[in-house]
């Protein structure tokens, strides 16, 4: 039997933001309701001072946040490489 | 229910596909459970994308052994905690293959022993991690690599196994279905398991962009449609109480759900269209049976 143990949250070493084709950009319509944070699969949204903040180091650009925001406060733009 | 304000216990940097429904489920489940939790996972997408060596995304204690034995491993963990008189929620998080198929015997034993464990199945309706093979959770008419649609077949011939009913037949203390598209309902149900001593089963519907074939931005939209059409009934049964069902006011025709997904593409036109009618009949039956 082979066993292995590792520490919590070591995944942070791996920056999944490099996977992204489209970048979610937050505009002034945002009121910090947090819907996008609940649905982001990649734990890269935080709500600070009633505003959605996206961590582009990890955001994979799936577009769920933009699709679910009822205030149309997130727009997806093609990533310029 | 008091949930820690937006507590996040699944670290970024995990390797799920963009738009993965199972990853959304994990974040919601862990938020409802809180830190005082030990998770046991079966082999599958969740296990794989959260645990490259040295790069675990888990921020609660987590163990993985095999595909088939997560309920057995959890049973041992729970027995040890009980002996040590330590209180922590022991929770299994396993895919549909690990639950409906290969791990069903181990889960049945865990239910029979009345162990204080919550078993959560994230149901993406096929064996995704190995390349979309059909499981007994794969729905009727859907195309997978082992139930391919083509001239000779309309996709999966068998119907989806009614796993919550099988759990209920074990007289477990709590059985619920949920969807990532309804996070408040999901988190309420998961949080409730912490108050109930005994075996609990929750099945969470988790759309999969790769296996189902839809755009990564549509995961929640598809999840909602599955519920709004009646194809995926959302309910809970607490032991000794009547079933509580999520009602849907404006039900949608199942075609609204099917047309977004490549796994049902063959049903949209031509001679296999009558299979879509049969899937509508499944919805109608659910709506009547559960009072949706
Ligand atoms: C005994 C055994 N058989 C087969 C496999 C290969 N295998 C790994 S993951 C997997 C599919 C898991 O499917 P599911 O439980 O639905 O989880 P998903 O990948 O869909 O999230 C299979 C067949 C294995 N690891 N062990
Ligand atoms: S869902 Fe929209 S309005 Fe709400 S926090 Fe996110 S970006 Fe802002
Ligand atoms: S695009 Fe996807 S990964 Fe990026 S912030 Fe939005 S929901 Fe999260
Ligand atoms: S194959 Fe499906 S379940 Fe697996 S990581 Fe990708 S989207 Fe998630
Ligand atoms: Mg699966």
Q: Any idea which residue has 């796993």 for tokens?
A: B163
Question: Is A32 among the domain residues?
Answer: yes
If one counts the domains in chain A, the total is 1
In chain B the domains, ranked by start, together with CATH numbers, are 21-290 (3.40.50.970)
**How close does chain A come to B63, measured CA to CA in Å?**
9
With CB atoms and an 8 Å threshold, state whether B216 touches A64.
yes
pLDDT in tens, chain B (292 residues): 445 578 999 999 999 999 999 999 999 999 999 999 999 999 999 999 999 999 999 999 999 999 999 999 999 999 999 999 999 999 999 999 999 999 999 999 999 999 999 999 999 999 999 999 999 999 999 999 999 999 999 999 999 999 999 999 999 999 999 999 999 999 999 999 999 999 999 999 999 999 999 999 999 999 999 999 999 999 999 999 999 999 999 999 999 999 999 999 999 988 888 999 999 999 999 999 999 9
With CB atoms and an 8 Å threshold, state whether A46 touches B19.
no
Question: Is A43 among the domain residues?
Answer: yes
Q: Which residues of A touch B217 (CB under 8 A)?
A: 62-64, 66-67, 76
Rounded Cα gap, residues A12 and A10, in angstroms: 5
Task: List the strands of the sheet with B62-64, edge to edge.
Answer: B62-64, B37-41, B89-95, B118-123, B200-205, B174-179, B235-238, B244-245
- How many CB contacts within 8 angstroms connect chain A with chain B? 112
Question: Is A56 among the domain residues?
Answer: yes
Phi-psi region of B54 (alpha: psi -120 to 50; beta: other; left: phi over 0): left
Question: Is A54 among the domain residues?
Answer: yes
Interface predicted TM-score of the whole assembly (ipTM), two decimals: 0.97
Note down the domain range covering A74. 26-78
Question: Is A61 among the domain residues?
Answer: yes
B123 exposed, middle or buried (CB, 10 Å; 0-12, 13-18, 19+)?
A: buried
């Amino acid at each position: 039997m082979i066993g292995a143990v590792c520490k919590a949250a070591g995944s942070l070493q791996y920056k999944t933001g490099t996977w992204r084709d489209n970048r979610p950009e937050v505009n002034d319509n945002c009121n910090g309701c947090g819907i996008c944070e609940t649905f982001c699969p990649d734990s890269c949204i935080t709500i600070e001072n009633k505003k959605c903040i996206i961590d582009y180091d990890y955001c994979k650009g799936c577009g769920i946040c933009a699709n679910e925001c009822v205030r149309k406060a997130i727009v997806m733009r093609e990533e310029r490489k | 229910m008091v949930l820690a304000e937006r507590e996040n216990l699944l670290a970024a940097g995990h390797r799920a596909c963009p738009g993965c429904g199972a990853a959304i489920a994990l974040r919601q489940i862990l938020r409802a459970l809180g830190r005082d939790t030990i998770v046991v996972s079966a082999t599958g997408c969740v296990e794989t994308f959260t645990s490259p060596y040295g790069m675990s995304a888990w921020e609660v204690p987590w163990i993985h052994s095999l595909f088939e034995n997560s309920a057995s491993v959890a049973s041992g963990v729970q027995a040890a905690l009980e002996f040590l008189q330590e209180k922590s929620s022991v929770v299994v998080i396993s895919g549909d293959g690990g639950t409906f198929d290969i791990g069903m015997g181990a889960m049945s034993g865990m239910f029979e022993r009345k162990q204080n464990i919550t078993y959560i199945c994230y149901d993406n309706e096929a064996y995704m991690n190995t390349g979309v093979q059909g499981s007994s959770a794969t729905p009727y008419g859907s195309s997978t690599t082992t139930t391919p649609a083509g001239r000779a077949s309309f996709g999966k011939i068998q119907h989806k196994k009614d796993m919550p009913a099988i759990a209920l037949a074990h007289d477990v203390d709590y059985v619920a279905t949920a969807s990532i598209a309804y996070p408040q309902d999901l988190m309420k149900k998961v949080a409730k398991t912490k108050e109930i001593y005994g075996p609990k089963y929750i099945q969470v519907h988790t759309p999969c962009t790769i296996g189902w074939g839809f755009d990564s931005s549509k995961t929640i939209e598809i999840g909602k449609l599955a519920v709004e059409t009646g194809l995926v009934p959302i309910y809970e049964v607490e032991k000794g109480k009547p079933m509580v069902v999520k009602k849907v006011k404006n039900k949608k025709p199942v075609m609204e759900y099917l047309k977004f997904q490549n796994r049902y593409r063959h049903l949209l036109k031509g001679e296999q269209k009558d299979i879509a009618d049969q899937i509508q009949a499944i919805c109608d039956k659910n709506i009547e049976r559960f009072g949706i």
